[in-house]
Structure 1
Amino acid sequence: MYESEITSFIKQLKAEQPKLERQQQLGRALLWDKKPLDLEQRASETHARVKQTSYVYYQTF
């Protein structure tokens, strides 16, 4: 059965570094996997937000 060079490289890499796959999963969880949103907290944060003026560089104090 044919096996490409890339497939054999990945198999060899995983054999040499058994922790590699777990590190990839942890990295993904850190950057991409998010906790479910709390809708009540989200509504509270949206309500508490200060509306931005139409022209942000001109402010009246």
Structure 2
Amino acid sequence: MAIYESEHTKFMREWLEKHPQELEEQKKGRALWWDKPQDLDSTARNAQSRVPVKPYYYDANH
């Protein structure tokens, strides 16, 4: 049984083999946008400061 692999996946695998320097750029971009250090105090403070939202925003009776 063959495992399906999309055209895009094949293209990216081949392209990264030909351009190995792009892996480092990819890691830098990920660190810039996604891999942020987590501060547990700030996270807890943000969770406690949330205001509850009504189930139906436009209902004036609740």
- TM (norm. structure 2) is 0.49
Q: Which has the larger radius of gyration?
A: 1
The alignment's TM-score, normalised by the length of structure 1, stands at 0.49
